[in-house]
Structure formats: C-alpha cells, structure tokens
Amino acid sequence: MIRFNNDYNRGAHPAVLQALAATAGDSFPGYGLDPWCEKAADQLRALTGSPEAAVHFLVGGTQSNFTAISAALRPYQSVVSAVSGHIHAHETGAVEHTGHKITPLPAKDGKLTAEQLAQVGESYRTSPVREHITQPKLVYISFPTEYGTVYSLRELQQLRAVCDRYGMYLFVDGARMGYGLAAGDVTLQDMARLADLFTVGGTKCGALFGEAVVIVNPTLKPDFRSYIKQNGGMLAKGWLLGVQFSALFQDGLYFDICRQAVELAMDIKAAFAARGIPFYLDSPTNQQFVILDHSQIEALEGKYTFEPDHQTDAEHMCVRFCTSWATTPQEVQTLIGDIQKL
C-alpha cells in the first residue's frame, strides 16, 4: 500500500534520526532549557530575520494552537477562523475547552479575506452591547490552508492592516509551513514581519514530532513558558525537540525536502489534469483535492491510501492526495501510471 493520505505517515528524515542517535549518550538540562533548543531557536531567529523573537518548542500542532491562543487572549475574547480552519474543524473543541469562542467564517478555498475581517471588526466596534458579546481579538489562519491553498504576500499584508485597524492579533498555524513557503511568494521573514505569532511545523515536515512557536509581538512573550507547562506541553526531555529542529534547519534541509514534496504533488496534479479529472480547487502545495467517481476510487484504493474529504454529488467524491517530505519519485510515477488508466 502506497500512502498519499497525509504528510505524517513516516517516521523522520534520516538526518533527524542520525542527530538523535548521535546525542543519545549525552545528558542535558530538561524542559527545553538546553543547548540544542537554544541552537535551534537561534537558527530559526536567523531564518526569520527576527533576532528578538521568542521561540518555544512543543510536541504537537493542536497543543501549540490552543496554548498560543489561550496565552494571547483574555477570558472574554474570541478567535476568528475560516470554517475549515484546523482549530474549528479538526481539534475536538480544544480552543473552546480553554474557554474561548471560535467565530467561523465561510471560506470555500480555506482563506479568510481582509473584507471579512473588517466586517467582523467593524461590527464589534460599532456594537452598542459590546459587554454582552465576545471581543474578536485573534485572527487564526493556516499556511497553507486545510485545502492546500496559500495566502499571497499581498493578502497577508491586507490581513495585517485590518488587524492593526481593529487591534487584533494575527496568528498563523504553520503546521505545513515548509510546503506553503515552497509554493508561494511569502518568506519566513515576511511571516515574522506580518504575524504576531506563528508556528513552524516539524511533525508534517520531516521530524518525528514537534512544532516551533515563534512569538514576535513583545506583549505576548511574558510567561509563555507558564502557559506551556499549565497546558501539559512542557516536554521534560525537551532537547529531543531541539535536536530535531536543529537538524532540519541545517543547510536548508527543511526547505529542500518540503520543496521536493510540492514538486511531486505538481506531477500528480498534472497527471489528473491530463486525464481530464476535475479539481475541487486549485492548490499549489502538497495537498491535491480531486473529484473522482466511485469507479475511479475503487480502481485506486486497492493500491493507494488517500483521504476522502466530502461527497460532491451522488456519483462523485472530493478526495485528497497528499505528498510529504518522504514521498519518493517512484511512488509518484506508479500513481501516475494508474491515473492514466482511469
């Protein structure tokens, strides 16, 4: 079985495993206060061009999201998200469990627009009963989105302008950051300039596990480690995270392996297009959403694992094919050969 169902179905890049093995006999301070976490944080600060940024390493994406959001908000403040946003659709109410309401907005392509945010901000600003409703304080976006689309630099700048106008934070979930950077015109430097805080994912981008939380806004930095600990996110053997991220950031490995995944996804995209199979939307990243009929699904599911997304009509379903840092050209060529037979 060849897996195209997600980008976290393999262990870790060999360089990560080698780095972990090389340090297995050494001892370190705990809870992320070790030389490896310090080194990885410095590498990430250099990559973002933000020497004053606070960098913290947590184990998983959901944990990083609700910890960052709960740290940023007061009890009466809420989050604005696309209806398909990961925190709204895939995290079992983790953010709501911290006591914060999520306001979902429609977004067919997974992206929020500046116009939508302005409407939310203006509605609250002009409300005569603000003490009776939650204050929209944090805007959550994913880069890439859950549908593989990416915000352009101009779109991020527009979101930033609205956030500044209405005093809202911009939080970017970068669980697939490497794939998004490989597919658009946004850089990590842009992200650090435009977001108040964001994550750089390792779990889906070559690490065994781990996410880096980067906090740029000075008002959000104090006591963040206390929030990590209180939310069960402080790994005693924190150096295991630092070692992994340091290996991924060495010599651009993180960006190289994510770029390869996107290139292979484009080969799959071209094969579906050549066969005349429609797409749910146009994705430039490692996630491709295609519309297949039941016979086409049956023809492929015996050899491949892919993820059903939703039924489009009685005869067709939108399914996701997802490449990863570990996908091989041989696997993709095998899939392309079978696509051509559909």
Domain containing residue 93: CATH number: 3.40.640.10
The amino acid sitting at 214 is V
Domain membership of residue 268 as a residue range: 2-7+253-339
Given a cut of 90, is residue 123 above it in pLDDT? yes
| Inter-helix orientation angle 14-22/239-249, to 10° | 130
Q: How many domains does the chain have?
A: 2
- Residue % of the chain over a pLDDT of 70: 100
How do strand 169-173 and strand 197-201 relate by DSSP bridges?
Answer: parallel
Q: For 66-90, how does the pLDDT look when each residue is reduced to its tens digit (9 = 90+)?
A: 999 999 999 999 999 999 999 999 9
Residue range 198-211: average pLDDT? 98
Residue closest to 48 by CA, chosen among 140, 160, 177: 177
**pLDDT at site 288:** 98
> Does 278 lie in the same domain as 216?
no
**pLDDT at site 39:** 98
Given a cut of 90, is residue 108 above it in pLDDT? no
Residue range 214-227: average pLDDT? 98
Domain end residue (candidates: 251, 269, 301): 251
> Does 230 lie in the same domain as 175?
yes
**pLDDT at site 11:** 97
From the number of C-beta atoms within 10 Å of its C-beta (0-12, 13-18, 19+), residue 15 rates as: middle
> Does 329 lie in the same domain as 200?
no
CATH (domain of 272): 3.90.1150.10
Given a cut of 90, is residue 31 above it in pLDDT? yes
What is the arrangement of strands in the sheet containing 307-311, beginning at the earlier edge strand? 287-293, 316-322, 307-311
